Structures are given as C-alpha cells and as structure tokens.
C-alpha cells in the first residue's frame, strides 16, 4: 500500500468525518491510506490548521478532498509541503485572497424564477431593490348559500 497516494477527506460545515464512512472502505480497498478529518468547526483558521496537521502527519504524497465548506478548508491546508493535489466535490474553491464571505456576498439563494416574478421597487436613494414578501397564507371565509 505504500506506493499509493494518501487521501485526507474533509467534511462540510454541517457534518463531520463520519459522512465519508461509505467512501473510506473503498479507497482503503484500492490501496490508499485514508483519513477523514474531524474538524472542530470553530473557525476556518482552526479547521485549516487541523486539516494541515493531519495531512502532514500522513507523511508522503497526500491528496486533500473537500466537500462544500471543506473546499475552503483544503484550499488553506493545501500549502502543506506533502500535499500534491486538491479535489473539490461540490465545494467552495476560493481563489487566492478570496474569502467565503466574498464568495457568498453576491449570492441570492432565491430561485431565479422567484426573483424575476417579484415586483421591483425603488429605494429613496434611487437604486432598484426587489421587494421581499412573506410566505404567510391569507385566508378568507366564504359561505355557500
């Protein structure tokens, strides 16, 4: 197994290392040395440091694999000297100097069809703004005669 690359799997923000439980056995059977990071999710810096330590502990060429928020983690941890590659699985892949908050700043989570269906209003400073509506149901009482 020593001729195969090491793999560190990094979970997203709403998970933990156990999310890789179905993947680890298959990679191990293929001859890889595999570990899932158990990041504390206290801060991005803490998670990067934890993942980097794990990658360095693995020794030898190591591939970091991140899912979702784990992509931002592996971007930072990928500077370890033994890391040979980064794999992003439906993950954030920030560019140099980019942060998660800057990536999310321009993101509107509403579906495009909803945004286009909402009427636009103009604010006092003259910029267009989409009106936010609530999902409260209006009820009316009808009586049949």
Residues carrying an active site annotation: 68
Cβ partners under 8 Å of residue 36, min gap 6: 8, 9, 10, 11, 17, 18, 19, 20, 24
What strands lie across the sheet with 62-68, from one edge to the other? 33-36, 6-10, 62-68, 83-91
Distance CA 145, CA 2 (A): 83
Contact 63, 34 (CB under 8 A): no
**DSSP strands (E only) in the chain:** 6-10, 33-36, 62-68, 83-91, 120-122, 128-130
């Amino acid at each position: 197994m020593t001729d195969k690359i090491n793999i560190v799997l990094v979970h997203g923000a709403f998970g933990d290392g156990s999310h890789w439980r179905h993947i680890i056995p298959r990679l191990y059977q293929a001859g890889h040395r595999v570990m899932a990071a158990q990041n504390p999710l206290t801060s991005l810096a803490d998670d990067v440091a934890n993942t980097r330590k794990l990658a360095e502990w693995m020794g030898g060429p190591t591939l970091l694999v991140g899912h979702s928020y784990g992509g931002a983690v592996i971007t930072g941890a990928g500077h370890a000297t033994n890391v040979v590659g980064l794999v992003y699985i439906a993950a954030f892949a920030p560019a140099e100097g980019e942060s998660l908050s800057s990536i999310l700043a321009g993101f509107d989570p509403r579906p495009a069809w909803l945004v286009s269906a909402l009427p636009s209003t103009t604010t006092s400073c003259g910029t267009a703004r989409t009106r936010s509506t609530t999902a409260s149901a209006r009820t009316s009482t009808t009586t049949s005669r």
